[in-house]
Amino acid sequence: MAEILLSLTIIGVVAAITLPSLTGNINERTWNTQRKALYARMSQAISLMPALNGYGTLTEDENGSVTADTAAETFVTDGLAKVLKINNICDSEHLADCGMVKNYTDAYGSTKIMPDTLYSFNSWFRSAEYIERTFSTINTKAVAFETQNGESIIVFYNPNCRTEFINEEQNLELSATTHTFPQSNMCVNFVYDLNGNKGPNTIAKDMGIITVFNSVDAIVVAPVLSTGKVTPNVSWENSAKTCTNENPESRLPNIDEGSAIMLSKNILGLNDTAGVSGFYRTSSVFNARMVWEYNISNGVRQTEWKTGNRNILCIKR
């Protein structure tokens, strides 16, 4: 009997040690599967929409204050709902009714409050210092919806978004840097929660972002921070290897994925993380000698020489 009790005790100790890890692995695989399925459905839906800008209206009073805002809600009701199965739509005053949590945990373990307007999503959308003067943004209210698969999604919509074209002739002589502003061609940023208000409500676990660029011929990306660790001063030759060494599933983001990370830095937790600033390299090559990079500090993306060292932030797709 003593030997049986001893064996049961050992089994119990081993189970207590291994069960949390096993449960965590199962959850991780489940979230990855759900995330990829959601991305596929959202990508297909967006591709069926003729254009992503111009939805809804904003009404201002004589003092310039917005008195009515239907932009994001109209984008969902008149646009997205026609190509994606949606169960419930909630305005900015009732986001929780669609299962979207107010408090969540960012990728670095800090508790955050979910924003509810485009400007609170990222102040770069209202700052003339970082936006081309020919382009203007408006502070639209967020809206949320639930899918038939049980995901809760909040929408930050830019009705003035446009399609950006980069002409390689600008850098044909390899003597100039091309700067662009992804704020102007980000049409919508979705923040999703795969299981609604159930836990853990954490970025890079059951929560994440899907960002859509370009009003026509849309580009849809859904980068997930691999670990959130920043590796500074990496050469071009070692950039991709840095990510695969971190994790076999990790990749160097392309310029659109990098731009999504940059614009979603508040959501992800990059805005208040020590050491996360400056230029970050991407896998997108502009021409023979130049590659694309993005600057988390000021919201610009640009081409730069391959010869310089840059920070690396890896993602999972």
Question: How confident is the model at residue 5, as a pLDDT?
Answer: 61
What residues have CB less than 8 Å from 2, skipping those under 6 apart?
A: none
First to last CA, the chain: 53
What pLDDT does residue 63 have?
59
Of 116, 117, 270, 279, the residue nearest 204 (C-alpha): 270
Residue range 24-56, pLDDT digits in tens: 567 888 899 999 999 999 999 999 999 999 999
Amino acid 21: pLDDT: 47
Q: What is the reported pLDDT for 147?
A: 95
Q: How many CB atoms lie within 10 A of CB 129?
A: 7
Q: Can you tell me the distance from the alpha carbon of 10 to that of 16, in angstroms, rounded to the nearest whole number? A: 10
Which H/E stretch holds residue 262? helix 255-263
- Residue 89, strand partner residues: 145
The reported pLDDT for the residue numbered 57 is 82
Are 312 and 218 a contacting pair, CB within 8 Å?
no
CA nearest to 190, candidates 71, 289, 42, 66: 42
Give the per-residue pLDDT at 2: 65
Cβ(234)–Cβ(309) below 8 Å = yes
Dist CA 95 CA 84 (whole Å): 19
Q: Which residues contact 290 (CB under 8 A, 6 or more apart)?
A: 171, 174, 303, 304, 305, 306
Residue type (1 letter), 211? T
Regions in the chain scoring below 50 on pLDDT = 15, 19, 21-22, 169-174
* 8 A C-beta contact, residue 152 and residue 99: yes
* Residue 257: burial class (beta carbons within 10 Å; 0-12, 13-18, 19+): buried
